[in-house]
């Protein structure tokens, strides 16, 4: 089986594929145009797919009629037309679990960074503006006993809720497609309507899978209903929030702050006005960027490819 790996992944995954005798090939250059990328895909039986910049849509599948499998190097699969993959019996693997702790760590980090205005204070030091001790300056807010609202309580949302409760004794509200019995038992989490979630949360953290119906879900009318001290955290996908509306909500003090590990588009331009705001912290989509998580993702993606090469089911599939 010929496997196209579109970007280098940790060695462990590559070794696993080689040990199975699979033929692996990589692109010759780092940045691929859409056409060049498609050319590589057309030569492959399976793709180990890193990044979300290339879309697997109907036109793609039509152009690659011999493709047998896609193993994503991500938990998110919003860049794949899953219905079309199903129609063509193409399994699409993803990498859940192994990155839940790392990604929720980043949500937790952003929550604290925004609450204590870390980016703003870092910039002051860097710009030589440390200044004298001032009882009224650079004040943040404490998170102890506050309410954390989780939109999408899956594996990552659960980890975020767990650490926030342990660290800050936060109350957990959630809105999800299903009840989460474990979260209700273990964290005393309460399932609430979307309206209640946005109206009652001091911190609102987004952890759902992104689908087209979620586009701009967090928009002006939602921010208007949030609390004035609310912190909005998004480590899922940039499409969940409307950036202009978020900027307006922050500058008109409808909400207090925002922490983003994902933007729309990515990368965010350095000219983006959000970066000027003192209660905003933006990271460059580093949720899963730990040695442990990235090794786990490499292993899982390789295992998914190997399973297909042996005529077996993938370990984790976005299309069951």
Residues near ligand DGY (CB under 6 A): 52, 74-76, 99, 287-288
Minimum CB distance to ligand DGY, residue 293 (Å): 9
- Judged by beta carbon, residue 210 or residue 256, the one nearer ligand DGY is 210
Which residue carries 């309460």 as its tokens? Answer: 190
Which residue carries 């309206």 as its tokens? Answer: 195
H/E segment holding residue 8: none
| Three-point CA angle 71, 261, 161, nearest 5° | 90
Q: Which two tokens stand for residue 147?
A: 């309410």
266 annotated active-site: yes
Report the distance separating Cα 68 and Cα 266, nearest Å: 29
241 annotated active-site: no
Minimum CB distance to ligand DGY, residue 71 (Å): 13
Report the distance separating Cα 290 and Cα 19, nearest Å: 25
Q: Which two tokens stand for residue 57?
A: 């849509």
Minimum CB distance to ligand DGY, residue 200 (Å): 27
- Judged by beta carbon, residue 75 or residue 107, the one nearer ligand DGY is 75
Look at the chain and count its residues.
Answer: 320
- Judged by beta carbon, residue 160 or residue 249, the one nearer ligand DGY is 160
237 annotated active-site: yes
Judge contact between 119 and 281, C-beta under 8 A: yes
Proportion of the chain in helix, strand, coil states, percent, rounded to 5: 40, 15, 45
Q: Which two tokens stand for residue 211?
A: 């689908």
Residue 183 CB: number of other CB atoms within 10 A?
22
Report the distance separating Cα 220 and Cα 312, nearest Å: 47
Minimum CB distance to ligand DGY, residue 240 (Å): 12
- Judged by beta carbon, residue 102 or residue 143, the one nearer ligand DGY is 102
Q: Which residue has its beta carbon closest to ligand DGY?
A: 76
- Judged by beta carbon, residue 107 or residue 115, the one nearer ligand DGY is 107
Minimum CB distance to ligand DGY, residue 72 (Å): 8
Minimum CB distance to ligand DGY, residue 278 (Å): 27
- Judged by beta carbon, residue 52 or residue 164, the one nearer ligand DGY is 52
Active-site residue, selected from the candidate residues 285, 294, 303, 316: 285
Beta strands in 155-300 (DSSP E): 171-175, 190-191, 203-206, 231-234, 257-260, 280-282
Active-site residue, selected from the candidate residues 18, 23, 195, 266: 266
Tell me which residues are annotated as active site: 237, 266, 285
């Amino acid at each position: 089986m010929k496997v196209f790996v579109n970007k280098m992944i940790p060695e462990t995954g590559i070794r696993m594929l080689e040990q199975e005798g699979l033929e692996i090939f990589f692109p010759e250059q780092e940045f691929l145009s859409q056409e060049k990328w498609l050319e590589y895909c057309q030569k492959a039986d399976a793709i180990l797919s890193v990044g979300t910049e290339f879309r697997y849509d109907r036109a793609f599948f039509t152009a690659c009629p011999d493709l047998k499998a896609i193993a994503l190097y991500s938990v998110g699969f919003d860049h794949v037309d899953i219905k079309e993959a199903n129609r063509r019996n193409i399994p699409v693997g993803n990498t859940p679990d192994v990155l839940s702790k790392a990604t929720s760590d980043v949500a937790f980090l952003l929550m604290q960074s925004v609450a204590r205005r870390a980016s703003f204070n870092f910039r002051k030091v860097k710009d030589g503006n440390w200044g004298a001790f001032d009882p009224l300056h650079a004040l943040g807010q404490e998170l102890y006993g506050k309410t954390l609202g989780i939109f999408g309580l899956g594996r990552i949302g659960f980890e975020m809720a767990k650490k926030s409760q342990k660290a800050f004794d936060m109350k957990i509200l959630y809105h999800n497609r299903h009840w989460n019995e474990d979260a209700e038992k273990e964290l005393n989490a309460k399932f609430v309507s979307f309206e209640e979630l946005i109206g009652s949360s001091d911190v609102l953290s987004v952890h759902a899978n992104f689908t087209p119906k979620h586009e701009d879900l967090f928009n002006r009318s939602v921010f208007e209903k949030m609390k004035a001290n609310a912190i909005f955290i998004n480590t899922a996908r940039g499409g969940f929030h409307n950036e202009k509306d978020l900027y307006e909500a922050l500058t008109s003090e409808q909400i207090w702050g925002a922490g983003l590990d994902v933007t729309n588009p990515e990368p965010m331009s350095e000219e983006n006005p959000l970066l000027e705001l003192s209660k905003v912290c933006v990271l460059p989509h580093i949720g899963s960027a730990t040695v442990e998580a990235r090794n786990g993702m490499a292993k899982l993606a390789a295992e998914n490819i190997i399973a297909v090469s042996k005529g077996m089911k993938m370990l984790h599939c976005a299309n069951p």
